[in-house]
Structure 1
Amino acid sequence: MTKTVETPREREAALLIKAAASLQNIRDTWPQDFDQLSKALTFNRKLWTIFMSSAAMEDSPLPHQTRQNIVNLGLFILNQTRELTMEPQPQKLDGIININRQIAAGLRAMPA
């Protein structure tokens, strides 16, 4: 039996896909699964807070511009999350879902 070891990049991509899938499910079944919105947004917010914190660290191996882009995307995600909390509308989920999917695809496409 061989054991597959997941790289940090693959793990990050998987978590972004998980967050996007949860939000997409809520979007697709709105308003039936509305009660799951807070939980899904909290998971996504925590994920992006970790990404932003890692990118902001001085010893991050990422190039400065990449780190800045991660922080900017994270701030956008946090702002969208706040807006969704104040005025829940299914179409407001689209941006978050798309960003998560695009970043996950980029992480999977990048060489280790």
Structure 2
Amino acid sequence: MYQHGAQAYQQTAKVVESPRQRESALLMKAAAGLQRIKDEWSTSTREDLKAALTFNRKLWTIFMSAVTQEDNPLPHEVRQNIANLGMFILNHTREILLDLDPQPNRLDVLVQLNRQIAAGLRGM
């Protein structure tokens, strides 16, 4: 019975949740995953790190793709800023993945950017 109620709630949430709320939630999920890796650095594996970075990279790839569409309603300057942030995030992620001895503090900027963008989306 509980499972059915939870599924109904999830379906309803998908309907009433705005795209911005969904984007904010996904950014917070990515930030939480990266923060968890940082907090549990000594017990996290390279695969854990790769999985968290990959999720974040895929999310930002989707955002970048969306803002480069000609029919995107956002102002050009906002679209350009998001694309620039996305490029920074993709490059930073690549650097972490290629580093043979990555340091946990390298994740800070990714966590902070995701949280700040998520907060901005919730405020709109």
The TM tier, using the shorter chain, reads over 0.9
> What displacement does 1:31 show?
2.6
> What displacement does 1:9 show?
0.3
CA distance in 2 between partners of 1:22 and 1:50 (Å): 18
Aligned partner (choices 55, 79, 96) of residue 43 of structure 1:
55
Structure with larger Rg: 2
**Aligned amino acid, residue 43 of structure 2:** Q
Per-residue CA distance 1:17-54 (angstroms, 9 max, x = gap): 00000000000111311331111111100000000000
> What displacement does 1:89 show?
1.5
What stretches of structure 1 of length at least 5 have no aligned partner? none
Percent identity over paired residues: 62
Matched with 1:18 is: 29
**Aligned amino acid, residue 32 of structure 1:** T
Q: Does 1:53 align with 2:60?
A: no
- Across the aligned residues of Structure 1 and Structure 2, the Cα RMSD in angstroms comes to 1.4
> What displacement does 1:86 show?
1.1
Matched with 1:71 is: 83
**Aligned amino acid, residue 83 of structure 2:** V
What stretches of structure 2 of length at least 5 have no aligned partner? 1-7
User: How many residues get paired?
Assistant: 110
Matched with 2:123 is: 109
- Superposition map of 1:78-93 within 5 A: 78-87=90-99, 88-93=102-107
Q: Structure 1-normalised TM-score?
A: 0.93
Matched with 2:4 is: none
